[in-house]
Amino acid sequence: MKTVSTVRSHGGVQGGYSHPSRETGTEMTFSVFVPPHAEGAALPVVWYLSGLTCTHANVTEKGEFRAACAELGLILVAPDTSPRGEGVADDAQGAYDFGLGAGFYVDAMQPPFAPHYRMWSYVTEELPALVADQFPADPARQSIMGHSMGGHGALTIGLTFADRYRAVSAFAPIVAPSQVPWGQKALGGYLGVDRSGWRRHDAVALIEDGARLPDLLVDQGDADPFLAEQLRPELLAEACRSAGQPLTLRMQPGYDHSYYFISTFMGEHLRWHAERLAV
């Protein structure tokens, strides 16, 4: 692991890091905020997964999470959203919603994406092991959250590894990628045309198939331009109602899809996570 940058903030350290990834076969970048803490302490970790077109830098620069993390004693880790570099396949037309910056937190099975687009294994296996080794992180106290495509990732990963993540929340998540254009393009392109293989990467389908969490928090702006076509939180609400899955879905009046929305409610989400990580 290489340290790209560190800066003091709220008594802690905000760092940017890179490392050669065995999963993606590329150099991967990520950021970590470590709050002030006693020497030898092991701190709870919140994973933040970003959305389409983003890198780790978006939430690091715009998320306004450090004051809350410093107060609550939380490490926040932000991975990149896809592999990058020479030889990494991209969308043939250069579209923003597939390829670079749009890994969708799956392990691709289709050429030419399969060799590098292994974001599921990277986020759930490789990077957690690296963070546990290099930072004062407590692997027994982890939670996960995300935005948009990253909200999709947080929900599907959290539902799959419910014994690992004590809290799961999302901002404007893609809740049913199998039923919306962004998700259909990504899952089809990365995983292939057999839709049965898509279900493990679809939060609504996972809940329908029996996956459960103790509770779930989702914030969604009602002025989000992607609400009706791509996000469709009503599908998550209906799946949770039918399955008896606890869900707090908060429709926030006047908020859009941007980091102005995310940063407004970031502190509330982190406090919600901290309560569950303290157990």
Would you please indicate which residues are annotated as catalytic (active-site) residues?
148, 224, 257
- Give yes or no for a contact between 245 and 213, defined as CB atoms under 8 angstroms apart: yes
How many C-beta neighbours within 10 Å does residue 132 have? 15
Per-residue b/e over 59-83, b at no fewer than 16 CB within 10 Å? bbeebebbebbbbbbbbbbbbbbbb
Task: Look up residue 201 and give its two tokens.
Answer: 């990467």
- Give yes or no for a contact between 58 and 50, defined as CB atoms under 8 angstroms apart: yes
Spatial separation of the C-alpha atoms in residues 74 and 64, rounded to whole Å: 14
The set of residues, in sequence order, having a beta carbon less than 8 Å from that of 262 and lying 6+ positions away, is 59, 62, 63, 147, 171
Strand locations in the chain, DSSP E? 2-9, 12-20, 27-34, 43-49, 75-79, 137-147, 165-171, 217-221, 248-252
Spatial separation of the C-alpha atoms in residues 33 and 15, rounded to whole Å: 6
